[in-house]
Amino acid sequence: MTSILFSPVTIRGLEVRNRLWVAPMCQYSAVEGVPQEWHHTHLAQFASGGAGIVMAEATAVSPEGRISPEDTGIWNDEQVDAWRPIVAAVAARGAVPALQLAHAGRKASTWSPFTHRRGTVPAAEGGWQTVAPSAVAFEGFDEPIALNVAGIDEVVDDFAAATGRAVEAGFELLEIHAAHGYLLHQFLSPLSNRRDDEYGGSLENRARLLLRVIDAVRDAAPAVPLLVRFSATDWAEGGWTVEDTATVAGWAAGRGVDFFDISSGGLVAHQRIVPGPGYQVHLARHVREAAGVPVSAVGLIDSGRQAEEILRRGDADAIMSAREWLRDPHFGLRAAGELGADIDYWPKQYVRARPHR
């Protein structure tokens, strides 16, 4: 039986060699937003390992948009120059180099996990004032400043400028990060958005910033495939829901978004999640069916057979995986062997390890 997981998919004219993709994973290893040799090795190995898309980590569109001082950025030319060889290495190995454009909002200026400290980094130690839709802090973090309309306009401009730089660096696919409790998600959810202007209240108003960002990114890169990552639910009473996600995904598709990356959670510390194998897949299926849009599923998907079954059931159109790629950077090659898929992109240097059928 032909594998769906290892069949190609075309997104806005770009052919992706398979449907097993590397999800964006923060490495907390940049210097002033500039990716380092670590990022080069980290991302290129997944392309050698058979990934269809290699998505670089949440990359800030402005200095204040970083999650931590060690996050990557795409707001200046030095960062573009550092990304270029990394992007080229991924593409040379046959995968699509992709970038997630992000702004952390009230969850910015936080300690990286390597410091074993939690909360907001003070200004004296390299931190900065955070911004958000409303002056409502994430639990345990400093209170952000509510963005005024001029500040919102600046965010939109930052996403547009970052898009141009990402294309200049050679990225072939882009994703707007509207998940995991970061700025665009903060605007979407009534738990973090308490505004009473045109950016708050109704679903249409709370989605306004995301839709403006989509328009700006699409205008800056009309031919580049574009994804949006959503947290399909806040896993908290009174928060953002999967029904909201499906509605806004439909609006986003009408503005030129090609694919939707469905995750969940991250907005509030009191979320109630019970993780398990494929625990977010049902959310992807709901958005796919309700909005009629292509989606990727993510969340403890760690084998080729599991991924293949998700696609065969019609739950999703592609698979994003994260931790399994960290455990095995050749997850794609292993999954192809597991499924008996006949792929032609085993690195010739590794072909002696290819399973015999």
Show which residues are catalytic. 182
In whole angstroms, give the CA distance from residue 334 to residue 329. Answer: 10
Helix ranges (H only) for the chain are 37-48, 77-92, 149-169, 183-188, 203-206, 208-220, 242-254, 281-291, 304-312, 323-327, 331-339
CB 99: neighbour CB atoms within 10 A? Answer: 28
User: Which of 4, 48, 123 is CA-nearest to residue 330?
Assistant: 48
Q: Which residues contact 331 (CB under 8 A, 6 or more apart)?
A: 20, 49, 50, 51, 321, 324, 325
Relative to beta strand 318-321, strand 295-297 is parallel
Find all residues with CB under 8 Å of 213, minimum gap 6, and list them: 155, 156, 159, 176, 184
Helix (H) or strand (E) holding 230: strand 226-231
The answer to whether the CB of 103 falls within 8 A of the CB of 155 is yes
Q: In 3-state terms, what secondary structure has residue 120?
A: strand
How far is residue 66's CA from residue 58's CA, in Å, rounded to a whole number? 8
